[in-house]
Amino acid sequence: MPSMPNQFFIVVITAFITLATTGYSLAEEVPEKTTEGTTKQFPKNARLPLEELRNFTQVFDQVRQAYVEEVDDEKLLEMSIIGLLNNLDPHSVYLDKNAFTSLQEHTSGEFGGLGIEVGIEGAFIKVISPIDDTPAQRAGIQVGDLIIKLDEHAVQSMSLGEAIEIMRGPKGSTLTLTIVRDQVDSPFEIKVVRDIIKIRSVRSKMLEPNIGYVRIAQFQENTGSQFRKALEKLSAKSNNLKGIVLDLRNNPGGLLHASIDVSDALLDGGLVVYTEGRIPSANSSFHAKAGDLLKGLPVIVLINEGSASAAEIVAGALQDHHRAVILGTDSFGKGSVQTVIPLDQDRAIKLTTARYFTPSKRSIQAAGIKPDIVVAPAEIKLLRTRDNIKEANLSGHLSNSSNKQARKDSNTLMEDNQLYEAVNLLKGLDLLSHNKKMGIDHSNNEN
Residues 6+ apart with CB under 8 A from 43: none
pLDDT per position as a tens digit, 350-401: 999 999 999 999 999 999 999 999 999 887 777 766 666 666 666 666 665 5
Q: Within a 10 A sphere around the Cβ of 315, how many other Cβ atoms?
A: 29
- pLDDT for the residue numbered 107: 63
pTM score of the predicted model: 0.75
Active site residue 44: no
- pLDDT for the residue numbered 109: 56
Cβ–Cβ under 8 Å, residues 154 and 123: no
- pLDDT for the residue numbered 50: 86
Measuring CA to CA, which residue among 107, 181, 143 is closest to residue 329?
A: 143
Cβ–Cβ under 8 Å, residues 312 and 305: no
Q: Within a 10 A sphere around the Cβ of 71, how many other Cβ atoms?
A: 12
Active site residue 370: no
89, 320, 372, 430: which is the annotated catalytic residue?
A: 320
Walk me through the domains of the chain, giving residue ranges and CATH numbers.
Answer: 9-42+49-93 (no CATH), 110-198 (2.30.42.10), 202-374 (3.90.226.10)
pLDDT per position as a tens digit, 405-420: 334 435 557 679 999 9
Cβ–Cβ under 8 Å, residues 94 and 110: no
pLDDT per position as a tens digit, 16-41: 444 444 433 334 544 333 333 334 44
Active site residue 309: yes
149, 334, 336, 350: which is the annotated catalytic residue?
A: 334
201, 259, 309, 331: which is the annotated catalytic residue?
A: 309
Cβ–Cβ under 8 Å, residues 292 and 268: yes
pLDDT per position as a tens digit, 256-302: 999 999 999 999 999 999 999 999 989 999 999 999 999 999 999 99
| Mean pLDDT, range 225-232, rounded to an integer | 97
Which residues are 154's β-sheet partners? 149
